[in-house]
Amino acid sequence: MKVDLISEHADPLAAIGGVDSGGQNVHVARLALALADRGHTVVVHTRRSSASQPGSVRLAGGVTVEYVTAGPAQRVPKDELSAYMPEFTERLARSWAVRPPDVVHAHFWMSGQAALRAAGGIPVVQTFHALGTVKRRWQGEADTSPAHRIETEREIGLRADAVLATCGDEVRELCAMGIPEHRIAVVPCGVDLEAFRPDGPVAPRTERPLVLSIGRMVPRKGVDTVLRAMRQLPGADLVIAGGGHGDEEAVRLRELAEGYGMGHRVHVIGSVPRTHVPALMRSADVVVSVPWYEPFGMVPVEAMACGVPVVASAVGGHLDTVAGAGVLVPPRRPRALARAIEEVLGDAGRRAELGAAGARRARERYGWPRVAERTEAVYTQVMDGKVGRLAALGG
């Protein structure tokens, strides 16, 4: 089948680790490739964010990335993109009038809005990646989302032919919004099991116990909680990877570490090339991911696939991925986090058990071929008009 993926702000070819580039970029890129491996033709539509970007780029056999002109050809924070979505929508409609796909899969709420307006009779599947209700709950007045986001997400959920939730917690949130559960299927994000595996190169490190935090440099990722926990672990080092050295959050974290007198053992290293991430994870004794909220959380699953113990906050997707194969702690609780890290670092047998359990779970549940197969099953059902049976795919 011909599948068009819409990812208005998350370019699958973008460098990972910036404020608006992270798990969604990876998800869209890897899903496209995995669908192509199953014999489908995939086009990813994303907004042009640089004048140097061509009209289209061949990502791999069967996958093309189309850059859609909508607003200025420069980076615009995703929460400011709503003004350019009418142009984005119009260009999608023109493209589909000439070359309609068999199914459209929208990623994030603005992509869903554009897809539904442009699709006509083409089936639309929606993955939100994050929900405005959850963001507002945790960020309050700091939430910069457009005022209409929450209501628009509800409308998308009611109009889309199917909604893919990445975890059970998201299903509960969607149902609370009034989305019928029978039209929701749980299809998690995936991990590249060829790159993220227990055996392979290991990044250089010292002999001291090493804790790794890696991800986007935004406050909600909770890295400051990790820093505060590390004050109680004077014998261990912390590596913080992601974003740029001059990013506001990276600067804040570096200053916080200096203020705590930990500058000598806290290393803020900035963005790491995607190909180097598995080696960096394998160098750590424990990977810590403690965001305030998390729709899915790819970092813990990637670390698990590398056989590295994970300590994560008990939120969102972590409740599905890490529970029983890692250690869960309450978000924004540095003392609880410090205790959990100390227990893992101090028990080699426990580290080995957690590493083996995580690797096993990643192999069994989160390989991209499996994720693509489950996604394709939803596409087939909505194309056949059998949305009433979607719930059977959950879990």
* Identity of the residue numbered 8: E
Q: Can you give the three-state secondary structure of 149-196, one letter per residue?
A: HHHHHHHHHHHCCEEEECCHHHHHHHHHCCCCHHHEEECCCCECCCCC
Confidence category of residue 20, pLDDT binned at 50, 70, 90: very low
Cα 93–chain centre separation: 27
Q: How many CA atoms lie within 13 A of 134 on its CB side?
A: 22
pLDDT tens for each residue of 266-293? 999 998 988 999 999 999 999 999 999 9
Contact 53, 209 (CB under 8 A): no
Contact 115, 124 (CB under 8 A): yes
Nearest 5°: the CA angle 124, 186, 62 is: 55
Superfamily of domain 2-190+367-393: Glycogen Phosphorylase B; (3.40.50.2000)
Quick one: DSSP state of residue 386? -
pLDDT tens for each residue of 249-271? 999 999 999 999 999 999 999 98
pLDDT tens for each residue of 290-312? 999 998 999 999 999 999 999 99
* Overall fold of domain 210-365: Rossmann fold (3.40.50)
Same fold, 2-190+367-393 and 210-365: yes
Contact 193, 363 (CB under 8 A): yes
Q: Which residues of 356-373 are buried (b: 16+ CB within 10 A; e: fewer)?
A: ebbbebbeebbbbebbbe
- On the question of pLDDT at 338 being above 60, the answer is yes
Dist. CA 307–CA 284, nearest whole Å: 10
pLDDT tens for each residue of 219-245? 999 999 999 999 999 999 999 999 887
- What's the pLDDT at 395? 40
For 158-166, what is the mean pLDDT? 97
The sheet that has 310-313: what strands, in order across it? 266-270, 237-241, 210-214, 286-289, 310-313, 327-329
* 114 or 13, greater pLDDT: 114
Domain chopping of the chain, boundaries? 2-190+367-393, 210-365
**Residues 344, 350, 353, 357: is their CA dihedral positive or negative?**
negative
Contact 189, 366 (CB under 8 A): yes
Contact 291, 214 (CB under 8 A): no
